[in-house]
A and B are shown apart, each in its own frame.
Chain A
């Protein structure tokens, strides 16, 4: 049984964070900060902002990333924008509104005090980013511009063209580089964390592999912060970068950290579909396209004609027919489920049969080609670059894709996991998005965690402990290193016939089929039978070229696939145990007559926290009950 003390401050929600800082959190004085060593794993928005902020405060920070530079982290690919309740539009926005929208968007499966704090800090993030030189879009008068985003009634999204994530990450990266130059942060690029070192129940450091030389080394620290992102790549095909993985988080879970809500996976309805079995990743197309595009498939599964030659009567505008009120603008999850449904019926288009048309012909006829083009120029260009089709001439093909994972390591209000001294920030924790993340909120959460929360909360833990109590001479480091090396040698010793890549692809297909857009009991149980069988085959038939003591990308990949295999099982288990539909988690058994998710607040208003019990033993489910004092439970309704 895990001890899950969420440490929620005993104060009204509007004052909780300030109260907590003033009354509950101890500080470390500037003279003492350099004595404390903090390890940050990951250098995306959350990791870079955390490392830079703590370095600037004077802590002795070491930051690790597996890429060749901290600037490569996948936060860079976020397109749309970042929310902040500045209320610059004077349209009634407020901290409370942003809190409400985020909690409602998450379908009431998040801890409301965390969500409120996120909304409260949102405005400071914009101030911080602008002070770093992040060139947000401006209006003619030179003031910051805003745009609107899905699921809300105000304009509160700040943006830099379609590259907001890139600009925010470069801001955090430059802050990090400033601290590296000042020798406050030591950066280790091309290093991958392969295990966490826990001594007497406390996190004491990590074991890493130098990806260039293969050297395995230990690093001790007074606290470890994981900023290692999400695990969407368990599906093989996702919008994540190829390197994104669950290894750091999963290793922490195996060392005792609770894993919260692993089955909560956000699926985006409009990505470019896979074109064949060789497909390595999926690229997102902004959802805004649904404002002007009509979605359809041919009525005849054997249709051979080009889309433009198919007459109206032979087209199935399935969203317009099934949801006459909302048509093509139904919520994300409904759009995604229906696309899968028509494709499963054999009506899908494109070389794989898993795609639907998004047609701009009607909008072009109505508004003119220039109007439509000017609105979506960069998206049309991006689409044409990838598919070689011009969306003006022929309809786009789209299909849902795995995009973001709301689940992650369980953390308390201080962002500390249940292992003392181990923290998780950004997408790698579970804290703020409940069962579904609102658009333009991921960047906000990463930066709130990194710039403003962890620099304060970590001091409370450190101030209660002596610095440098344990060094890498402690036998626990040696033991962990040995275990890491044994695992690598075991992988190399299999000497079978199949590449790690082929196992990853196969796992992805299992996850998509059994734990994807919609889930049911039988299918999840089947997934839970298939994954262990695949893992067995992995251990029997894996073929790994090369050596452990050199740059070996196949070896890196194999280790990540192995953790995905174990983790996929945990996801299916969570999805099976959560016998309700909520947010992105759609259990077919629980839906309204209109096909909307049906929550069961009586029995499932809790966070599922899984506790590792050992190899081959079923993990134990712990529950953190959720309370809804500030914002009473209500049905998630986007219709009225």
Chain B
């Protein structure tokens, strides 16, 4: 296959960046998209040019590291597929392909296609956990969980934190990501004690990171490589509303003080 690539090149956070064009004529249909990028980088290296920086790691669709907007869609044209699981057979011979980084003000570009997604970690720090220490715990079967609820929690927990939802959203909202974690924990008995605090603090962190608000475009769900449902956003909104209607009482400070 012959293909023409237009790739975003940006040397650092402060660089303005621009698209550059490359042609590859030895692409094979069974190559993964990232193997095609490896081939491009090998070519650039041998020619003495700088290869394209991009994030990737597991290359089996689960680590959430790969992150490319391909022809305007996060992770490319195939639904429920990460960039690393996309294959060149999904493109035509002679295709022109545009490759850009995630575009969102909360995800600044670090270099070329690499962006800074640390805002996601900070949203989790705001409450995406069950407060816990390591040590003896009750036997799990002492708290039965209805299998459907456990499965729905797992549907939400399947989020790989790649950030495609943000890249896909015209508002750059992180509500799908935030609601997936809040719902995973909020559905399970272990997550109940902190459920409403969690909803409030995660949403507030999301806003302070510069992510936009949800306007129900549903592009996030359409481009999510794990098919996370926007129903979780509704769930989070409901928890957030309930939490907001209650006068906040902060006893945590007293409880922890010794």
Residues of A within 8 A of B (CB): 49, 52-53, 56-57, 67-74, 76-77, 88, 124, 126-128, 130-133, 135-144, 160-161, 163, 166-167, 170, 173-175, 177-178, 180-181, 187, 189, 212, 241-243, 275-276, 278-281, 283, 351, 385-388, 451-452, 455, 497-499, 501-502, 543, 545-546, 550-551, 553-554
Q: List 28 A-B contacts (CB under 8 A).
A: A68-B118, A69-B161, A74-B63, A131-B137, A132-B132, A132-B190, A133-B184, A135-B145, A135-B151, A138-B145, A140-B147, A174-B128, A175-B132, A177-B128, A178-B131, A212-B111, A241-B63, A275-B28, A278-B38, A279-B35, A280-B34, A351-B30, A386-B87, A501-B45, A543-B48, A545-B45, A545-B50, A551-B110
Interface residue SS majority, chain B: loop
Instruction: Count contacts on B: residues with CB < 8 A to the other chain.
Output: 78
Q: Which residues of B contact A551 (CB under 8 A)?
A: 53, 110-111, 114
Distance of A452 Cα from B185 Cα, bound (Å):
24
Distance of A601 Cα from B157 Cα, bound (Å):
47
Return the chain B residue nearest A68 by Cβ: B117
Output the least CB separation between A14 and chain B (Å): 19
Distance of A390 Cα from B107 Cα, bound (Å):
38
Q: Which 4 A-B pairs have the closest CB atoms?
A: A142-B144, A174-B129, A181-B125, A127-B137
Asked if A144 and B153 sit within 8 Å, CB to CB, the answer is no
Return the chain A residue nearest B45 by Cβ: A499
Total residue contacts A-B, CB cutoff 8 A: 219
Output the least CB separation between B42 and chain A (Å): 6
Distance of A366 Cα from B117 Cα, bound (Å):
50
Q: Which residues of B contact A74 (CB under 8 A)?
A: 57-58, 63
Instruction: Give the contacts of B70-87 with A (CB-CB under 8 A).
Output: 81, 85, 87
Apart from A76-B63, A138-B147, A546-B50: 11 A-B pairs, beta carbons within 8 A = A77-B63, A131-B132, A133-B190, A135-B153, A142-B146, A142-B147, A167-B154, A177-B124, A177-B129, A386-B32, A452-B134
Distance of A438 Cα from B35 Cα, bound (Å):
32
Distance of A241 Cα from B61 Cα, bound (Å):
11
Q: Which residues of B contact A351 (CB under 8 A)?
A: 30
Distance of A56 Cα from B131 Cα, bound (Å):
10
Output the least CB separation between B43 and chain A (Å): 10
Asked if B38 and A77 sit within 8 Å, CB to CB, the answer is no
Asked if A132 and B144 sit within 8 Å, CB to CB, the answer is no
Q: Which residues of A contact B56 (CB under 8 A)?
A: 242
Asked if B85 and A385 sit within 8 Å, CB to CB, the answer is yes
Q: Which residues of A contact B190 (CB under 8 A)?
A: 130-133
Partner of B35, one of A53, A280, A546, A550: A280
Given contacts A132-B129, A275-B30, A551-B111, whether A68 and B65 have CB atoms under 8 Å apart is: yes
B89 at the binding interface (Cβ < 8 Å): yes
Distance of A212 Cα from B154 Cα, bound (Å):
34
B141 at the binding interface (Cβ < 8 Å): yes
Q: Which residues of A contact B131 (CB under 8 A)?
A: 178
Distance of A143 Cα from B136 Cα, bound (Å):
19
Q: Which residues of A contact B30 (CB under 8 A)?
A: 275-276, 351, 387-388
Q: Which residues of A contact B125 (CB under 8 A)?
A: 177-178, 180-181
Output the least CB separation between A164 and chain B (Å): 11
Given contacts A138-B147, A178-B132, whether A72 and B64 have CB atoms under 8 Å apart is: yes
Instruction: Give the contacts of B46-60 with A (CB-CB under 8 A).
Output: 46, 48-51, 53, 55-60
Q: Which residues of B contact A499 (CB under 8 A)?
A: 41-42, 45-46
Q: Which residues of A contact B35 (CB under 8 A)?
A: 278-280
Q: Which residues of A contact B65 (CB under 8 A)?
A: 67-68, 72
Partner of A451, one of B128, B130, B134: B134
B121 at the binding interface (Cβ < 8 Å): yes
Partner of A143, one of B46, B58, B141: B141
Output the least CB separation between A505 and chain B (Å): 10
Distance of A56 Cα from B129 Cα, bound (Å):
14
Partner of B110, one of A67, A166, A212, A243: A212
B16 at the binding interface (Cβ < 8 Å): no
Given contacts A131-B190, A278-B31, whether A69 and B50 have CB atoms under 8 Å apart is: no
Q: Which residues of A contact B39 (CB under 8 A)?
A: 278
Return the chain A residue nearest B158 by Cβ: A163
Q: Which residues of B contact A279 (CB under 8 A)?
A: 35
Output the least CB separation between A54 and chain B (Å): 9
Partner of B120, one of A52, A56, A69: A69
Q: Which residues of A contact B111 (CB under 8 A)?
A: 212, 550-551
Output the least CB separation between B48 and chain A (Å): 7
Distance of A581 Cα from B190 Cα, bound (Å):
48
Q: Which residues of A contact B135 (CB under 8 A)?
A: 128
Output the least CB separation between A119 and chain B (Å): 17
Output the least CB separation between A388 and chain B (Å): 6
Given contacts A138-B147, A141-B144, A551-B114, whether A177 and B121 have CB atoms under 8 Å apart is: yes
Output the least CB separation between A539 and chain B (Å): 17
B188 at the binding interface (Cβ < 8 Å): yes
Asked if A130 and B150 sit within 8 Å, CB to CB, the answer is no
Output the least CB separation between A147 and chain B (Å): 15
B12 at the binding interface (Cβ < 8 Å): yes
Q: Mark B104-117, 1 if CB is under 8 A from A, else 0.
A: 00000011001011
B3 at the binding interface (Cβ < 8 Å): no
Asked if A139 and B51 sit within 8 Å, CB to CB, the answer is no
Q: Which residues of B contact A137 (CB under 8 A)?
A: 147, 150
Asked if B45 and A543 sit within 8 Å, CB to CB, the answer is yes
Output the least CB separation between A62 and chain B (Å): 15
Q: Which residues of B contact A275 (CB under 8 A)?
A: 28, 30
Q: Which residues of B contact A53 (CB under 8 A)?
A: 133-134
Asked if A241 and B58 sit within 8 Å, CB to CB, the answer is yes
Q: Which residues of A contact B51 (CB under 8 A)?
A: 545-546, 553-554
Distance of A497 Cα from B160 Cα, bound (Å):
38
Output the least CB separation between B74 and chain A (Å): 16
Asked if A124 and B57 sit within 8 Å, CB to CB, the answer is no
Asked if A130 and B154 sit within 8 Å, CB to CB, the answer is no
Given contacts A67-B57, A77-B62, whether A189 and B144 have CB atoms under 8 Å apart is: no
